[in-house]
Every structure is written in C-alpha cells, then in structure tokens.
Chain A
Amino acid sequence: MASNLFQSRSWGKFTRNRFAVVSLGVILAYLLVAVASFVGVITLEDTQVRVLPDRTRGFLESSDLDKRSRDAQWFVERTSLRVQRAELAPESYERLMSELALRERRVADVPLERMAELIERAESQLDDLYDALDDRDEVLDEILFIDLELRRLGDSAEDAALASEMRSEREALLARVSDVDAAAETRIAAVEATILEIHPYPGGLGGLWYGVRTFLGSDAQGRSISMKAFYSIRIAFQVGLVVAVVCVIIGTVLGAAAGFFGGWVDYFVMYLVSVLSSIPTLVLLGVLVYMFFGHPLFDNPAERPGLALVPVYCAMCLTFWVSTCRVIRGEVMKIKNLEYVQAATSIGFGRVYILFKHVIPNTAHLMFINLSLLFIGAIKSEVILSFLGLGVKGQPSWGVMISQAKDDISVMFFWEVVTASVLMFGLVLAFNILSDALQDAFDPKHVS
C-alpha cells in the first residue's frame, strides 16, 4: 500500500512542491530533537534544575544594571552562606560547594581559605556597588522629583523664574547621570569578575552544553528555557503521533465500515459521530480529562510523569477520530460502486476481505492527509489544555511553559513565552504546509 503510494503521480507532484519538501525537512529536524529526548540526551531532570539566576535574558540581549546587580548579589549570597557553614565544619566543604553547581558550571576547585578570601572580596565589592547604585538612585530620584514639580507648576507665569531655575538644575543632573552610571558599571564589572573566579564557566564539551542550556535564558525559577522548550518538542510529538495514529485507525475502520456496509452499521457509527460532535471539543476534552482526576496511576505526575499523559491521549483519541471517520465514510461510499470492487465481489471474495484489501488501501491518501491534520489539532489542543491546567502535568510542554510565563510578561520578560510560541509556530506551520501540499497532490478536488 505504501510502496504504491510512493510511485504514484501524486507523490511526484508532492515532491516537486518545494515548500512541502522544506517543511518535511523542518519536521524531520524537530523529530531529531524529539528522538534525542527519547533516548535520554535531554532528560526531565534537565528541565527541572536551576542553571542561572531567575529570569535571565537570553543571547544578544544584555540585562540592565538592576538585574545584573541582583544576579551578582544572588551569586555572592548563596556562595557566602555555604562558605560560612564550611568554615564551621570544614569536612563538609566539598559537599556544600557541589550543591552550588549549576549543572556543568561548578564552583572553582580551590581550598576553603582561598574561597573565603574570594567571597570576602566579592562582598566588599558588592558593598561598593551598592554605594554606587545609591548615588545613581539619588540622582534619578531628584530628576523625577523635578519633573513632577515642573508638571505641577505648569505654565503659570509668576513661577517662570523658578521653573527655569529647576530646568537648569535638571540639565546638570542629567549630565551627572552618565557619570554615576559609569561608576556603577565599573563596580559591577568588578563584582562579576570575582564571581567568575568563584564560579568559572566550564570549558570544552561541558561548556558547550552549558551554552546550549543558557542561550535562551532562564525562567522565573532559574530553569533552562531551552531545555524546557526542547523537551516540549518530545511531548508534542508524543501527543501528536499517538493521537493522530490512533484516531486515523479508529476513524478509518469505523468510517470505512459505515460507508461500505451501510444499514445499521452506518446508523450506529453516524450516531456515535453525532453524539461526540454535539459537545464542543474543548468541553468534551475537559470532561474526559475530569474522568482521570486524582487517579493514583494516571494523575500522579510526581512519580509517573509518563502515565500522566494518558488522560490527554484518551480524551483526544475519543474526540478527534470523528472528522477522519466522516471523510473516509464519504470516500468509501464513492469507492464501493467502482468497477474493481464489483469485480472483486463477482469473483466471490468476502465482504470484509474486500473492505480491508481493496477499499481501505484506496483511502490511504486521505489517511495521510488526516494524519497531518490531526497532528496539528492534537498539538494545538494539548497546548490549550495545558494552559488551562487540564493537560500535561509534571513535565514541561509548550502550553505549560506559556502558562508559567504569563506573569513574566508584565515585567517585560518575554524569553519563555516567545521561545515556546516560536517553536510551536514552526512545527505547526510546517505541518500546515505539509497538509496543504498533501491535499493538493492527492485530493485536488477537496474544498478545505
């Protein structure tokens, strides 16, 4: 059945469509990442462990002074706390330092005395930094105050002298801003240099991995955004493939049986289709997920993250086969009156044999198109369900990422939302183009 498909004229038409081939390549690239996660290159642990301070921006976007000083403070505080403890109990020094590791990025391998020295230096530099920041804040506050005063004074004539005086004062303050900024800048650079001494970047392969982990920044709990996003690709493929394959199988068998046998089989299948399509999809999905709430096996993401996906699979498989069933039924009703089916009947083949051997293989093109369409539908629904808190639990997915990051938006931190949406956009777009191309090639008369 498949080999016939690849030799058909339609397949040639499909491969001549450049967009389709490119989108197929994109899908393969995604698939590669998904497989990498399956074989254990990217593990669930990678997505749950801290690699950076909270909400660090990704590549090409530098953080502002406040964020950098907060990060510096975070680094120094967590190290100094453990150094103090190690000074009381030197035998635990190694263990305490290993707790500080941010995946590949470990604390420098130096004796305790040296570390204490470094921390002391960092702390004093941090104090200097605070002084510089205080100066800076003072200047900025003064400017803000003058602005408010000027607004209050407005254009009233009697205060014109006062206003002009304030304006010149404001100019002077503005000139100072760059000075205090530069002062803070040099001091923060000093602290960061010390922190790098305490917490050097790893070299070699580890450094490369650490770069992969950090190039898209970190989320509100310091976890790697890139790892979460890559792991989500696997979840998307898992959900998409399982749902699409199961739905196509159910839909094809039931739809073909309904179209081929007619009579009460047809009535029964169409009745099921009508019932299931009478409930809005998202509501039906919600109700079906509700069936599994609190189940010790299937709603236990902490211990069984794999099985926690089962409610999502079940809900979508029960919901989405309906569209495939309709399409296949219509096609089979056309096919069953064709000559080759009549010929097979007159030879004396059984009805079921004809159905599986002659009718269903001729709906293969529709199965492929529906596979692609259902894949998109499943991914999109998964994201929406997860966003509402009804979908994936205990592991990252694009929906979970977007829902976790929606509070970041109000503080102008877009890295997590944008990463998840861009990756999802790429995959859905590739599948959209692929379905269009499949449809054009194999089912040109179809009105989408």
Chain B
Amino acid sequence: MWAFIIRKILYNVPVYVGVLVLVFLALRVQDPVYQYLGQEAGQEQIDQLRRSMGLDRPLPVQFGIYLREVVTFNFEAQSWNQRGTEVGEILKRSIVPSLSLTVPALVLSTVIGVFISLIAAYFRGRAPDRILMIAAVLGMSISFLVYIIFGQFFFAAVPREAGLGWWPFAVQGYEPWIVFGEGGGVYPGRWVTYCMLPVMISVIVSMGYDTRFYRAVMVEETGRDYITTAVAKGATKPKIMFVHMLKNAMIPVITRVMSTLPFVVIGSILLEMYFGIPGMGREIITAIINKDFPVIQAFVAVFALIFIASVILTDVLYAVVDPRVRLS
C-alpha cells in the first residue's frame, strides 16, 4: 500500500512542477508591474515595485524564488492591492470560509444525489424515474447565475425586506462556526445565517449532474451477476438496492465525489463572490480583476496543490475500496 502511495506522489511531482511553470510563464507574458500600475505610473514607482517582487532578476532565479515559496509554504510577499498584508496571511484567513462552504455542500449533495438516484434506479423506466431525469436535465440547463441571483433575492433579500425578523438567511456576509470572543469566551457563530443558503444553492446546482451520473452507475450495477444471485436467493428488492448494490456502487461514487472537487471550487467562487464570503475563490478572482500579481501567483499554486492532493487521495481511497487497483 505504501509503495502505491509513494508511486502516486512521485508521479504527481513533475505534474505539479509543470503547473508551476505554466502559471509562472502565463503571469509573465505581459509585464505584471505595468499591468498593475497602468500607463500613468512613474519610472521610479515601477522600478521599486519590480524590485520588491524580484521581477528584475533573471527568470530562472525568479522561478527559484517562486519554488522556494511554494515548497516551504511561506508566502511572505506582500499583496499589491491590499497594502501591508502578506499573501500567506490572506491565504490563512480565507481557507476556513471556503471550506465551511464547500465541505457541507459536497457532503450534502453526494448523500442526496445518491439517494435520489437510488429512487430513480428503483423505479427505472417508470414515471418517477422519468420525472426525476427530466427535472435533472432542466436543472442542468439553468445557469448557475440564475440560481444565485434569484436564490439570494427571493430567499434572503425579500423576506428580510418584508421584516421577517426570524428569517434565517442573510443577504451577504460571513461568520465562522465558532467565534472567539474578546474575553476569551467561545460562542457558536451564525454559520446557518450566512452559509446555509449558499450551501443549498450549491447542492441544488450539482443535483442535476450528480443524479444523472449516479443513476447511470446504479443502472449499470443492476446488470451484474451478484444482483442475479441475490434475486435468485430471494432477497427483497429494497434489500438488494440498499445493501448489495449501494456498497458496490461506492467505487464510482467516490471517484465522482473527488472529481467534482474542481466543480465545487468553481461553484464556490461564484457563491463567494455573490454572497460576500471571504474565501479563497473570492480572493483569487478579485486578485485577477485587480491584477494583484503576488496573490494570483501564490493562490494558483495552492489551488493546484489542493487539487493534486485530492487526486492522490482519490487514487488511494480507490485502492483501499477496490484492491484490484493496487496491482495494476
């Protein structure tokens, strides 16, 4: 098993280096300093900013600096747009809000998606299945933006405006699970108020894609020999579905969950932008819009690292669930 894990990690090291080279070069196609400061900037200002990021040194040296930052995970360059803040600081404070959005969304959408797909597979070809699948295609065709804009308006802005004081969802903002008070006290944060609506929107958006995939998996499983055996020995249909089949369908489900991670990240970027949640997605998009070079460079590296880690984790989980994988 360890050999398998190490092999996976070793395979992904050159991939990660490739990502870093790609990002490194893409960000230097045009002069980042000039991009940020615009045409009116004085030469002195340009030179100063260029020196502060080491952009006046030769490219290999610059790449060395970048590599060192990533390997030691010590991003001490200062953000250009948020003066006086280190990139590492921004990174640290934005990870938790992102996770508090994506993790519940991922868990909820998987559980609900598998459940609905089981229902669809159970009624395969009959009315409930048809209706669910039509709903899935319709849901897939609606733009993410529509869900966000109208979700926020009708489920947060309108009720708040109407003076429903007890209404649970806020229009914008963020608070973590746990708030540390000034006197050392610990209070439960208003996570539900700020994050529940974005999480629900995220779940609804991914529902269409998820149920279609899981249903296809389930339908494929129904043709297997072990199902025939279970039917022959007289197991009831619900038992076959929820006990025999669900366990075996777990392999593609795990792969799917892991491979939807980038989608969840994308989704959370839009949600974070719109609901004012100070997460990583919001930081990187605002950094790109503001041409905040140090932040872009560091954040893309971290995003890719998280992604590659999740890919390795998928493979390992896969190998744990299905021992055949280890041998190949």
Partners in one complex: yes
Q: How far is the CA of A406 from the CA of B171 in the complex (A)?
A: 14
Given the contacts A278-B307, A410-B157, A447-B220, A286 and B284 also touching, CB distance less than 8 Å: yes
Given the contacts A436-B137, A448-B212, A280 and B146 also touching, CB distance less than 8 Å: no
Given the contacts A280-B266, A295-B30, A425 and B35 also touching, CB distance less than 8 Å: no
Q: A278-B16, A286-B285, A291-B27 are in contact. List 20 more A-B contacts (CB 8 A).
A: A271-B18, A278-B304, A278-B307, A279-B19, A279-B304, A279-B307, A280-B307, A282-B269, A286-B284, A290-B27, A383-B145, A388-B270, A390-B285, A402-B145, A425-B141, A425-B146, A429-B138, A429-B141, A432-B141, A447-B216
Q: How far is the CA of A290 from the CA of B270 in the complex (A)?
A: 18
Within 8 A of A (CB), among B270-318: 270, 273, 284-285, 288-289, 291, 296, 299-300, 303-304, 307-308, 311
Q: Once the chains bind, are A291 and B15 in contact (CB under 8 Å)?
A: no
Q: How far is the CA of A229 from the CA of B42 in the complex (A)?
A: 43
Q: Once the chains bind, are A406 and B307 in contact (CB under 8 Å)?
A: no
B300 interface neighbour in A283, A389, A428, A433, Cβ under 8 Å:
A283
Q: Once the chains bind, are B143 and A383 in contact (CB under 8 Å)?
A: yes
Chain B residue contacts of A380, Cβ below 8 A: 143-144
- A368-406 interface mask toward B, CB cutoff 8 Å, 1 = contact, 0 = none? 000000000000100110011110000000110010001
Chain B residue contacts of A289, Cβ below 8 A: 288
- Does B132 sit within 8 A of A, measured CB to CB? no
Chain B residue contacts of A410, Cβ below 8 A: 153, 157
- Does A39 sit within 8 A of B, measured CB to CB? no
Q: How far is the CA of A197 from the CA of B217 in the complex (A)?
A: 67
Nearest Cβ on chain A to B189's Cβ, whole angstroms: 27
Q: How far is the CA of A398 from the CA of B141 in the complex (A)?
A: 14
Given the contacts A291-B29, A293-B291, A424 and B143 also touching, CB distance less than 8 Å: yes
Chain A residue contacts of B15, Cβ below 8 A: 271, 274-275, 278
Q: What are 10 of the A-B contact pairs (CB < 8 Å)?
A: A274-B12, A278-B311, A283-B269, A287-B23, A383-B145, A384-B145, A410-B157, A417-B146, A432-B140, A448-B212
- Does B22 sit within 8 A of A, measured CB to CB? yes
- Does B262 sit within 8 A of A, measured CB to CB? yes
B: number of interface residues (CB 8 Å) = 52
Q: How far is the CA of A424 from the CA of B303 in the complex (A)?
A: 30
Chain B residue contacts of A291, Cβ below 8 A: 26-27, 29-30
Q: Once the chains bind, are B285 and A388 in contact (CB under 8 Å)?
A: yes
Nearest Cβ on chain A to B107's Cβ, whole angstroms: 19
- Does B142 sit within 8 A of A, measured CB to CB? yes
Chain B residue contacts of A295, Cβ below 8 A: 30
Chain B residue contacts of A387, Cβ below 8 A: 145, 270
Q: How far is the CA of A332 from the CA of B33 in the complex (A)?
A: 46
Q: Considering the complex, give the chain B residue whose CB is closest to the CB of A289.
A: B288
Q: Once the chains bind, are B266 and A281 in contact (CB under 8 Å)?
A: yes
Q: Once the chains bind, are B137 and A429 in contact (CB under 8 Å)?
A: yes
Q: Once the chains bind, are A293 and B35 in contact (CB under 8 Å)?
A: yes
- Does B213 sit within 8 A of A, measured CB to CB? yes
Q: How far is the CA of A417 from the CA of B291 in the complex (A)?
A: 29
Q: Considering the complex, give the chain A residue whose CB is closest to the CB of B288.
A: A286
- Does A338 sit within 8 A of B, measured CB to CB? no
Nearest Cβ on chain A to B27's Cβ, whole angstroms: 7
Q: Once the chains bind, are B265 and A388 in contact (CB under 8 Å)?
A: no
- Does B188 sit within 8 A of A, measured CB to CB? no
Nearest Cβ on chain A to B61's Cβ, whole angstroms: 22
Q: How far is the CA of A275 from the CA of B12 in the complex (A)?
A: 9
Chain A residue contacts of B6, Cβ below 8 A: none
Nearest Cβ on chain B to A398's Cβ, whole angstroms: 8
- Does B64 sit within 8 A of A, measured CB to CB? no
Q: Once the chains bind, are B143 and A287 in contact (CB under 8 Å)?
A: no
- Does B320 sit within 8 A of A, measured CB to CB? no
- Does B183 sit within 8 A of A, measured CB to CB? no
- Does A150 sit within 8 A of B, measured CB to CB? no
Which of A276, A399, A425, A447 counts the most B-chain CB atoms under 10 A from its CB? A447
Within 8 A of A (CB), among B1-38: 12, 14-16, 18-19, 22-23, 26-27, 29-30, 34-35, 38
- Does B65 sit within 8 A of A, measured CB to CB? no
Q: How far is the CA of A417 from the CA of B152 in the complex (A)?
A: 14
Nearest Cβ on chain A to B91's Cβ, whole angstroms: 14
Chain A residue contacts of B307, Cβ below 8 A: 278-280
Q: Once the chains bind, are A280 and B144 in contact (CB under 8 Å)?
A: no
Nearest Cβ on chain A to B278's Cβ, whole angstroms: 16
- A205-222 interface mask toward B, CB cutoff 8 Å, 1 = contact, 0 = none? 000000000000000000
- B182-199 interface mask toward A, CB cutoff 8 Å, 1 = contact, 0 = none? 000000000000000000
Q: Considering the complex, give the chain B residue whose CB is closest to the CB of A427.
A: B141
- Does B235 sit within 8 A of A, measured CB to CB? no
Q: Once the chains bind, are B265 and A280 in contact (CB under 8 Å)?
A: yes
- Does A193 sit within 8 A of B, measured CB to CB? no
Which of A282, A295, A429 counts the most B-chain CB atoms under 10 A from its CB? A282
- Does B41 sit within 8 A of A, measured CB to CB? no
B145 interface neighbour in A275, A279, A283, A399, Cβ under 8 Å:
A399
Q: Once the chains bind, are B149 and A417 in contact (CB under 8 Å)?
A: yes
Q: Considering the complex, give the chain B residue whose CB is closest to the CB of A398.
A: B143
Closest 6 CB pairs of A and B: A429-B141, A275-B18, A286-B288, A282-B266, A280-B262, A291-B29
Q: How far is the CA of A38 from the CA of B302 in the complex (A)?
A: 43
B137 interface neighbour in A399, A402, A433, Cβ under 8 Å:
A433
Q: How far is the CA of A390 from the CA of B284 in the complex (A)?
A: 12
Q: How far is the CA of A390 from the CA of B291 in the complex (A)?
A: 11
Q: Once the chains bind, are B288 and A287 in contact (CB under 8 Å)?
A: yes
Q: Once the chains bind, are A409 and B142 in contact (CB under 8 Å)?
A: no
Q: How far is the CA of A432 from the CA of B141 in the complex (A)?
A: 7
Q: Once the chains bind, are A287 and B266 in contact (CB under 8 Å)?
A: no
- Does A364 sit within 8 A of B, measured CB to CB? no
- Does A341 sit within 8 A of B, measured CB to CB? no
Given the contacts A275-B19, A425-B143, A409 and B149 also touching, CB distance less than 8 Å: yes
Which of B18, B145, B217, B220 counts the most A-chain CB atoms under 10 A from its CB? B145
Which of B22, B27, B300 counts the most A-chain CB atoms under 10 A from its CB? B22
Nearest Cβ on chain B to A389's Cβ, whole angstroms: 6
Within 8 A of A (CB), among B159-216: 212-213, 216
Nearest Cβ on chain B to A429's Cβ, whole angstroms: 4
